[in-house]
A and B are shown apart, each in its own frame.
Chain A
Amino acid sequence: DAGVIQSPRHEVTEMGQEVTLRCKPISGHNSLFWYRQTMMRGLELLIYFNNNVPIDDSGMPEDRFSAKMPNASFSTLKIQPSEPRDSAVYFCASSLGDGSGNTIYFGEGSWLTVV
């Protein structure tokens, strides 16, 4: 199994630009998560999808952030416009079941720097 695949691995962008992060979950997994990791705040859950439907987006910091899952094998996290404080590692993860405490499989992360 290829695991959770994220792209890009690294992105440097200027403030105000749109950023799109992409994720392909593990085949057969029906729960998908977007996390953000920073030194200050650790690993934070941004949004959770189950069967392609957003279930909990309470962790999305503000309206500049949006996430979609058009099908079972693809999800995007978009930041528009980006700000320097959005600089972080963004992880996509997937699991089987309804996501409630099941083992989560993480991708390698997308390292975002906004200058």
Chain B
Amino acid sequence: SQKIEQNSEALNIQEGKTATLTCNYTNYSPAYLQWYRQDPGRGPVFLLLIRENEKEKRKERLKVTFDTTLKQSLFHITASQPADSATYLCALVNAGNMLTFGGGTRLMVKP
């Protein structure tokens, strides 16, 4: 069966450090992968989309990599700030051509 796995444990880091979140998937052959941010009590908000032929994509302090051989995407936030604290979700198109989400990883950036 298709699975999207993200570390369910919270990631705690110090302000200024780089946060790295992982998204692993099985039984998918995605043409692209998306990352969303979700704050408590709010809906998810789109951050980045990376295509299968793109190894890396950047947007300001965010960087996403996509390794279709390892079936893994890494999401990096450089120079992290307390305002980056949130849950980050990866999402893939499933066999039914619908966007499905991983369970998300909660990031806590301490000042």
A56, A93, A101: the one contacting B43 at CB < 8 Å is A93
A4 CA / B89 CA spacing, docked (Å): 19
Binding site for A on B (CB under 8 A): 30-32, 34, 41-46, 49, 89, 93, 96-104
A108 CA / B102 CA spacing, docked (Å): 19
Which chain A residues numbered 26 to 70 have a C-beta less than 8 Å away from chain B? 33, 42-43, 45, 48, 56, 58
**Max chain B C-beta neighbours (<10 A), residue from A93, A104, A105, A109:** A104
A103-B46, A108-B42 given; A43·B98 CB < 8 A: no
Q: Which residues of B contact A108 (CB under 8 A)?
A: 41-43
A42 touches B101 (CB 8 A): yes
Q: Which residues of B contact A4 (CB under 8 A)?
A: 43
Q: What DSSP secondary structure best describes chain A's contact surface? A: loop
A43 touches B93 (CB 8 A): no
Distance from A63 Cβ to chain B, minimum over Cβ atoms (Å): 21
Distance from A100 Cβ to chain B, minimum over Cβ atoms (Å): 4
A56-B96, A56-B98 given; A103·B43 CB < 8 A: no
A42-B103, A42-B104, A101-B31 given; A107·B98 CB < 8 A: no
Q: Which residues of B contact A91 (CB under 8 A)?
A: 43-44
A101-B31, A101-B32, A103-B34 given; A43·B44 CB < 8 A: yes
A98 CA / B23 CA spacing, docked (Å): 25
Q: Which residues of B contact A99 (CB under 8 A)?
A: 97-99
